[in-house]
Structure 1
Amino acid sequence: MPLSISGRPGSPTLTGLALVAVLCLGGCGEQRATDTTAGAPTGTSRSAASGAPGASPYVEPGAGDGAPHYNENNGSRRPGAMSPASATDAAREADRIRPVLKRLWGQKKWDPATVRAALLSLGYEEERTGSNGKSHGGTLIVRAMNSRFTDGREVTPEGALVGLRVHDDACVTAFVQKSNYEVMTNGPYPETGCFEPPFGH
């Protein structure tokens, strides 16, 4: 049946055509996913189905900041795994060290010589290494804090870093400085032993 269009305002035929035009134009320009097997529901725009617009296709799973090769570049910053038995032993040694550092911090004594002497009094033996870097016994290292650049110059903050090798796969690491102290357990790092490598490696 032929459709006649009346020019009268309020005409049912003109109102119906206007409604159809609005519905048709409302869906223009929207791209819809057509592959429902890819996991994106029908009706989801492509940018939402594939992640944020402009997302890098090179992001590694679990990459901290999303940069390509993050895991490879930061492998030296990941401590090794501890066995359950080694983790238990490390936690026990951490419990011995913690009150000593708390006391020194309260006394405002955080220089490496004082911290070393206090920890040696617990019966630990200071680690000794030969000229080739090979260990000749002992498990405790106490040294100055890592230096850092501040206002264009290298500065070593006051304080001491502590590393205690409990087993081949377990360490106690700690620090004491003016602002705070902390005692942790971790597996050794691939290149730096008990100590976390400094940034900028």
Structure 2
Amino acid sequence: MQTLNKLLLVILLLIVITPIHSLSQKKYEKDFYGGLFFLSDYIASNEFLSIKKTTTDLEQVDIIYSKAVNFFEGDISEALLCLTFSCLPFNKIDFNLLFGIVKVPLPSPPKIVFQKRLENLPKNIYFNSPRTNFGDKDKLSHFFGNAFLRYNISMFNFSKFMGIFVEKTEESFFANGELDRRDIMTNHLGELFAEMLKLYPDAKPSKALLVYQIFYFREGL
């Protein structure tokens, strides 16, 4: 669950985010926090819980993505950024420093909404996702975070470099960090989704995530 830490740090350094809000807003502003609260409330809602009963997890990912794009009135970049944090299965980063571990809060909705959002997040996004209550919920922010980087920064293949750099350096800098090949594969699928969006703006994340099966059998993950 901690393998997103460096990726999130990179994204936070690339954007300007206002001080962390602690309460959700009744009126959602058309900005990062408005989108974060809107999507978090939606994923935590009874409406989404009902949808989960009649749809697959990949279909749920598409629904959440469409909600984000509609909220930001077609701005794909804003949608991808907001989804990166709206799908997080944790709300803080643990920094491993010389004098101990320091917990740094991430942009997040109120705790009660965060917990319900965590429960409702799609978890079986791959054919071999762990059959547990958590499953592959942590892969969604990997996917959307790398899609955001690739969609906005293509010079020198920066997103691929950062995806590998994140995984390689995470273990020594963050608590509980470890190299995860499935996370790296998810990073690549996020990049693929970004390229799909550049060619076909109506592309859905499920189409990119389904490519995992091809990678799995080719690489023997």
- TM superposition score category, shorter chain reference: under 0.3
In terms of fraction of residues, the more strand-rich structure is 1
Q: Give me the TM-score of the superposition, normalised by structure 1.
A: 0.26
Which has the higher Rg, Structure 1 or Structure 2?
1
In terms of fraction of residues, the more helix-rich structure is 2
Q: Give me the TM-score of the superposition, normalised by structure 2.
A: 0.25
